[in-house]
Amino acid sequence: MGQAGDNQPIAKTLKRLGWFMLRAIVPALLLSATVVPASGVAPQGLSPNDLVRKVIRHELDAQQHDHSLWMYKDIVRIPAPARQKMVVETHQGELTCLQQVDGQPLTPDQKMAERRRIHNFVTDASAQSRARQASSSDDQKSAELFSILPDAFVFQYAGSNGDLTTLSFHPDPGFRSRSMEAYVFHKMDGQVIVNTREYRLVEIAGTLTHGVQFFGGLLGHLDPGGTFDVRMTEVAPGIWNLARLKVNMRGKALFFKTIGDQEDETRSDFRQVPDGTTLSQAEQMLLEQQKGKRNG
């Protein structure tokens, strides 16, 4: 859910994958565990692609059943300038309140502008409706993109360490994409780490090994070497949220316009808010948090 959109297709592609994985993943600390080489047979006799398929079914089910709401700190270091904000989720949408720009607190005028912006959204039913529609569309496309993983890629069992299993992946040449997002995503090579006890995804990272050309390069291209990395953290028992998203993509669009999508975002300080929290209540939470920060 959100109050603003992103018009760059590559940004949407990668964000949809990351945003969809908000709720269901094991801690990012597990990413530092050593992977021990193992045989090429996936756990419980599953082929690597069937293991990924089972994990995805579990993730989709978990996503449908987790409706918890959270307040958290969001820091975007790239693109510049670096921005820190607080976010409060509600079932009507989410509210954000900017706190710092380039490490500096907001001026009194900037704080007043933020309060006006927040209040305008809370009292504007049409703006809320547009935000919900955009969020619903992104959620649907996220699920579609996530679900193509076992069909778009060939997975290979790379190793294991306790409940963690690492699989590398590369594009399946027989896959035919049906959307621009799937087309770009299918060009990635990378790895996933899954928890085979809970059938959860721990990490997914990819590299645009060969680059992408749109209509033979006539409408643009993405340079090879572009990367993305999504990592998660536990915010409550059995509930996981996005902890880190990094994207680094470059290329050229029509008329030689440079494509540059570099993102570095972290989320932390998660606090669960009551299930029935309204936008008006979220507004008060942000105002009280801002006041407490000033007094502190």
For the chain, 296 residues long, give each residue's pLDDT as a single digit of tens.
Answer: 444 333 344 444 444 444 433 332 222 222 323 333 344 445 668 899 999 999 888 878 877 788 899 999 999 998 899 999 999 999 988 999 999 999 999 999 999 999 999 999 999 999 999 888 887 777 777 777 778 889 999 999 999 998 889 999 999 999 988 877 788 888 889 999 888 877 888 888 999 887 777 766 666 778 889 888 887 777 887 777 788 888 888 877 654 455 557 889 999 999 999 999 999 999 999 998 877 665 44
Determine, yes or no, domain membership for 2: no
Rounded Cα distance between 53 and 200, Å, is 11
Rounded Cα distance between 23 and 46, Å, is 25
Long-range contacts of the stretch 166-175 (C-beta < 8 A, 24+): 166/35, 166/191, 166/192, 166/193, 167/42, 167/48, 167/51, 167/52, 167/191, 167/192, 167/193, 167/194, 170/209, 175/148, 175/151
Range of the domain at 264: 9-295
Nearest to 196 by CA among 29, 27, 54: 54
Determine, yes or no, domain membership for 236: yes
> What local confidence, expressed as pLDDT, does residue 253 receive?
60
Determine, yes or no, domain membership for 20: yes
Determine, yes or no, domain membership for 4: no
Judged on CB neighbours under 10 Å (0-12, 13-18, 19+), 255 is exposed
Determine, yes or no, domain membership for 1: no
Number of domains in the chain: 1
> What local confidence, expressed as pLDDT, does residue 181 receive?
73
> What local confidence, expressed as pLDDT, does residue 263 receive?
87
> What local confidence, expressed as pLDDT, does residue 218 receive?
66
CA 164 to chain centre: 21
User: Would you state the structure tokens that stand for residue 13, as one six-digit string?
Assistant: 């592609």
Determine, yes or no, domain membership for 3: no
> What local confidence, expressed as pLDDT, does residue 8 receive?
44
Determine, yes or no, domain membership for 145: yes
For the chain, give the longest Cα–Cα distance.
62
